[in-house]
Amino acid sequence: MSKIKKVLIANRGEIAIRIMRTCRELGIETVAVYSEADRTSLHVRYAHEAYYIGKAPSNESYLIIDKIIDAAKKSGANAIHPGYGFLSENAEFAERCTKEGIIFIGPSPEVIVKMGDKIQAREAMMKAGISVVPGTEGKISSEEEVFKVIEEIGLPIMIKASAGGGGKGMRLVQEADEVVSAVRAARSEALSSFGDDSVYIEKYITSPHHIEFQILADQHGNVVHLFERECSIQRRHQKMIEETPSPLMTPELREEMGKAAVEAARAVNYVGAGTIEFLVDNTLNYYFLEMNTRLQVEHPITERVTGVDLVKQQIRVAEGEKLGFTQNDLSQKGHAIECRIYAEDPDNNFMPSAGKVYKISEPLGLGVRTDGYVYEGYEIPIYYDPMISKLIVWGKSRDEAIRRMRRALYEYKITGVKTSIKMEERVMNNKNFIEGNYDTHFIEKNKEQLMKPEIDKDISDMAIIATFIDYLDKLDNSKNNKKEFTPAQSSWKKGACNINRF
């Protein structure tokens, strides 16, 4: 197979830059694509060259296969990295790349199709002897069938869309009299979201942990896992904080789940980087949930504890090279945590906070990595994901990693837009989190503490400083339009507060 010399990155934001960083280290040329809203975006500046691909909405730019292929041809790129989201799990795109003689840095279209269909994925895993959540074998074709399954596995159950994932087309059923309406609701949501109304049933696992295993597979039949990531801290299916190792994990369970993850990948002849998601209940039973056939947002924590550059491995495997290591060469060293920084206001129902970034100062120092893309004066477009950065820290122990994350969050200064940082500071100071005592319901269970703005004063005086800087912004604007000031801001206005940062 030909060697990769020039990669087009069919993505934007932090992940486009993340991929290009590795390409530069490997001496590979990079090609960016950008929409109307991304003319001033950092990935465009970072790349060796860049091609305009259409209007701001992603269905008029980043999702149009023809435009991406066209840019690849014009630039002479001989490979495409899809990143995550957009076309990353689109089998038609992977197939088209191959047809055009461009290497798709990812698995085969067949695997993407199979794992994208949750019923097929479940069937493949059952066949391979991997534990799946008790439930239906295939799709359900009648309501009687649902009642039959309930007799076997009991209530509560979950009705899930085969084409779903991420919570869409999913319904929890607690009582038998809810079955009929829940099946209908799940079907119609699935049909309108995915154009496919196939649904299946699983027993509802109460308060599970969401634990995923990273795997890597080459074209020569070598498959390894790179241990787990604990991803239970999320709200409304949007992950917020991930860590590895999982505080729940035991060495025995890790070994067993790692083996299951490798078998899962083998069962579908997987090639590339992938993730096997499991639900783990409080008595440590684990169940295959789904497989993601892309590089994931949270991949850096795995990179930090294993020392493996996952993008580099994706590229090497796509070129046909063998994995340069075996399972025995891999270990987890220390502890890594990632906080996703969203341009959202946690104290205003996580409302998106698009706008101009006035000042940004990112944390540095021992054990800190940020994967971001915004710069001072950058206007965050409203069209795409509100995640603007990822903060990844490492420590010798979980305790050291938590302390380092608190320090790094303290150093993280962004003004002009509201961010999730203060919420993440509250998590790092939450007793249950510190004790590793959490599951997928963590945010609901701890909302009293997590949603209370006042506690920020105890955590960081910098919250006050950030407010002060917001005040300076307002003062700037107030020449033209009158603005209301809080009492604290009014006292600063009188010169009562003198802060020399920024």
Measured distance CA(170)–CA(122) in Å, rounded: 16
Subset of residues 141 to 160 that bind ligand MV4, contact rule: CB under 6 A: 158
Give phi and psi for 247, each to the nearest 5: -60, -20
227 binds ligand MV4 (CB under 6 A): no
Contacting residue, 205, 226, 391, 417, with ligand MV4 by CB under 6 A: 205
Residues with Cβ within 8 Å of residue 422, at least 6 apart in sequence: 346, 347, 453, 456, 459, 460, 463
Other beta carbons within 10 Å of 277: 19
Contacting residue, 429, 440, 460, 489, with ligand MV4 by CB under 6 A: 440
Subset of residues 338 to 377 that bind ligand MV4, contact rule: CB under 6 A: none
237 binds ligand MV4 (CB under 6 A): yes
Judged by CB, which is closer to ligand MV4: 50, or 133? 133
CB of 86 to ligand MV4, least distance (A): 19
Measured distance CA(37)–CA(59) in Å, rounded: 13
Tell me how many residues contact ligand MV4 (CB under 6 A).
16
For residue 371, give the 3-state DSSP assignment.
strand
Judged by CB, which is closer to ligand MV4: 220, or 237? 237
What one-letter code names the amino acid at 118?
A: K
What tokens does 278 get? 């499991």
What tokens does 145 get? 């069938």
Subset of residues 162 to 201 that bind ligand MV4, contact rule: CB under 6 A: 165-167
CB of 298 to ligand MV4, least distance (A): 12
CB of 212 to ligand MV4, least distance (A): 9
Judged by CB, which is closer to ligand MV4: 203, or 413? 203
Asked if residue 225 lies in contact with residue 258, where contact means CB atoms within 8 angstroms, the answer is yes
Of 187, 254, 294, 369, the active-site residue reads: 294
210 binds ligand MV4 (CB under 6 A): yes
208 binds ligand MV4 (CB under 6 A): yes
Peptide bond into 386 cis (omega under 30): no
Give phi and psi for 437, each to the nearest 5: -100, 80
Judged by CB, which is closer to ligand MV4: 137, or 376? 137
CB of 119 to ligand MV4, least distance (A): 14
240 binds ligand MV4 (CB under 6 A): no
- b/e 11-47 (16+ beta carbons within 10 angstroms → b): bbbbbbbbbbebbeeeebbbbbbbbebbeebbbbebb
Strand residue runs (E) in 396-501? 413-415
204 binds ligand MV4 (CB under 6 A): yes
Task: Give 4's DSSP letter.
Answer: P
43 binds ligand MV4 (CB under 6 A): no
CB of 138 to ligand MV4, least distance (A): 16
Judged by CB, which is closer to ligand MV4: 12, or 187? 187
213 binds ligand MV4 (CB under 6 A): no
Task: Give 2's DSSP letter.
Answer: P
Other beta carbons within 10 Å of 204: 18
For residue 292, give the 3-state DSSP assignment.
strand
- b/e 315-344 (16+ beta carbons within 10 angstroms → b): bbbbbeeebeeeeeebebebbbbbbbbbbb
Subset of residues 251 to 290 that bind ligand MV4, contact rule: CB under 6 A: 279, 289
Measured distance CA(335)–CA(333) in Å, rounded: 7
Judged by CB, which is closer to ligand MV4: 237, or 452? 237
What tokens does 419 get? 């961010």
CB of 263 to ligand MV4, least distance (A): 21
What tokens does 81 get? 């990295």
Contacting residue, 47, 124, 133, 317, with ligand MV4 by CB under 6 A: 133
Residue 294 falls in the annotated catalytic set: yes
Judged by CB, which is closer to ligand MV4: 88, or 353? 88
Contacting residue, 38, 202, 344, 425, with ligand MV4 by CB under 6 A: 202
Enumerate the active-site residues: 294
- Sites of contact with ligand MV4 (CB under 6 A): 133, 158, 165-167, 202-205, 208, 210, 234, 237, 279, 289, 440
